[in-house]
Amino acid sequence: MKHLHYLGTWLLTILVLGACVPATAPGQSGDTPAISQGQAPIQRTLVILARGEPPSIAAKPLQAFSGSLLGPVRMFNAMLDYKDEREAIHPYLAEALPELNTSSWQVFPDGTMQTTYRLRPGLTWHDGTPLTADDFVFGWTVYSTAELGASTSAPVGQMAEVLAPDPGTVTITWRRLYPDAAGMDMGFQALPAHILRDPLQRLDAESFINLPFWTRDYVGLGAYRVTEWVPGSEIDAVAFVGHALGKPKIEQVRILFTPDPNTALALMLSGDAHFAADYVFFHEEGATLEQEWQAREVEGVVDYAPALLRLTAIQHRADAASPRALADPRIRRALAYGIDNQAAVDVTTGGRGLATYTVTSPRSPMFKAVEAAIPSRRYDPRMVQQLFEEAGFSKGPQGFFVGPGGEPFRVEYATDGGPSPERENSIYVDSLRQAGVDAFSYVIPIVQLRDLQARSLRPGLSNGAIGAKALGFFISAEVPRPENRWAGNNRGGWSNPEYDRLWQTFDTALEPRDRERSTAEMERLLYDDTAVIPNMFTVVVNARAATLKGPKLRTTPESANGILDVHTWEWIR
């Protein structure tokens, strides 16, 4: 089988790494000759490495899974619109985006809205069946079915109805003002009614969610269509002639599931793989790949995008926090000054990440408003001491802060397991200890990673990563509680009515300036109360063969993720 060929290549490469045997140039497999000047283009299969096997390749899957597995999903899907690497929105299946205060985007006195799209003519599904507006109506029927689990997710939860006035027109009515109505990206997709209508009517929810349609039998609208799916190994696909933005320039693609970074390194070094998608490599592997390519005098490109926010949550629940002094905002502020974010950036990303004191990325269009609203905050042991002393603490005989009664201030700093997060965590702990705070590391056992209650009730500090729309993670509705089965992103339990109001304003503001103003005010509240401690924007790493042209680099957490604009990729002679 094909995957055995790659395993053999990996083993062979591992044997020769230490001997510095010259590698095949990236983009040239052992059985594919190099393209010399004047030769006709040689048909090569583009081999893409993905972190693992996704449980679904739908744009909006019905079952939740790790975002690190989403890389290939865009290749098989097309939506009404799409977001690019710079956060800009473009029409995709639609001829144009709705424009506010026109017939394509109407706002009504009761606070509801309506958006209208005209579909590009002549669109078809991968199986050749014509795409019509009824497929979007059917998609909304599926996603708004509560038993299937996506009915409250954005933007479906904000939709009141999806209609098809004619086969080429999609009309969406909205329950409320929703500024992202013209930028839904992968949040809403059409589904092939000719395939799924009958199963939806006769199957229970679990059976419908587990249909092979969502994987090996997937029929989508994207640049590539699936031809073979080898479970646990790979997906083979071919260019879709009917793709809305034009047929891809590369005819064949193979996606290999490579959870082991050493295997991925070997495949890139041997030239048997041409592109490593998000989360296949982290900074360390990216740097190793660059060094190996340089040593072998082989060209290749490793891109580092500071596009994933890492922050430190603080336990705010009075019955769970330890030490109890975490309830004092001066203590929380002191801890923020005692964490050396820049040192973590230097060590864990080779200086390619961005140290931050805000949830909003410095590369975001919103950052100017945020920067004007709050002062910068950097590692400063003097401020740590000043704030602890204001709260009634002093240095004890061991150099750590103790309370008025001599009780020690000792705080847990929890993190997920793994070389990179543990290394980052140790830097934060060391910087706190150097500033007089008796902090200690706690690595969350693997068995507890799915225990939402245990994760929400960690007593002190917890380091982790969050993705797009991060400011929405800190509203009261996102606090994990027993009544919501401990689901929610606001694990520290911080709650502020004014922040909730600002988020509601942001989430319904149709004018960009109003959104900027709300963003700055939310950041100010988080900063003043030290609700959380933003640490850095760590890097998302991609690697590509020098013979491959087209992959694009993300800029912020709000940028589109995954494999972007793959239909434009091409081989370089």
Are residues 457 and 362 both part of a single domain? yes
Other beta carbons within 10 Å of 294: 11
216 is a domain residue: no
- What pLDDT does residue 40 have? 52
347 is a domain residue: yes
Are residues 320 and 462 both part of a single domain? yes
387 is a domain residue: yes
| Confidence category of residue 487, pLDDT binned at 50, 70, 90 | confident
* Angstrom distance (rounded) from CA 459 to CA 442: 11
Are residues 170 and 227 both part of a single domain? no
Strand partners, 397: none
CB contact at 8 A, 247 and 94 = no
For residue 96, the SS3 value is coil
* Angstrom distance (rounded) from CA 565 to CA 398: 57
64 is a domain residue: no
C-alpha distance from residue 171 to each of 107, 115, 220 (Å)? 14, 6, 21
63 is a domain residue: no
Say which CATH number the domain at 379 has. Answer: 3.10.105.10
Dihedrals phi, psi of 435, to nearest 5 degrees = -90, 0
Say which CATH number the domain at 93 has. Answer: 3.90.76.10
62 is a domain residue: no
Dihedrals phi, psi of 305, to nearest 5 degrees = -115, 115
Question: What residues have CB less than 8 Å from 286, skipping those under 6 apart?
Answer: 302, 304, 539, 541, 543
pLDDT of 4 above 80: no
67 is a domain residue: no
* Angstrom distance (rounded) from CA 224 to CA 229: 13
Dihedrals phi, psi of 422, to nearest 5 degrees = -70, -35
pLDDT of 73 above 60: yes
For 294-331, the pLDDT digits (tens) are 999 988 999 999 999 999 999 999 999 999 999 999 99
Of 171, 189, 211, the residue at which a domain comes to its end is 211
Q: At what angle do helices 512-529 and 497-508 cross, to 10 degrees?
A: 160
CB contact at 8 A, 27 and 232 = no
* Residue 134: domain span: 78-211
Are residues 112 and 248 both part of a single domain? no
pTM of structure: 0.85
Are residues 492 and 399 both part of a single domain? yes
Token code pair at residue 228: 């073979």
Of 164, 179, 211, the residue at which a domain comes to its end is 211
* Angstrom distance (rounded) from CA 124 to CA 273: 31
Say which CATH number the domain at 25 has. Answer: 3.40.190.10
Token code pair at residue 435: 């500033």
For 176-230, the pLDDT digits (tens) are 999 999 999 999 999 999 999 999 999 999 999 999 999 999 999 999 999 999 9
Are residues 127 and 180 both part of a single domain? yes
Are residues 357 and 283 both part of a single domain? no
| Number of structural domains in the chain | 3
CB contact at 8 A, 422 and 443 = yes
Are residues 164 and 181 both part of a single domain? yes
Are residues 500 and 381 both part of a single domain? yes
Are residues 2 and 26 both part of a single domain? yes
**Length of the chain, in residues:** 573
User: Which secondary structure element, helix H or strand E, spans residue 256, and what is its range?
Assistant: strand 252-257
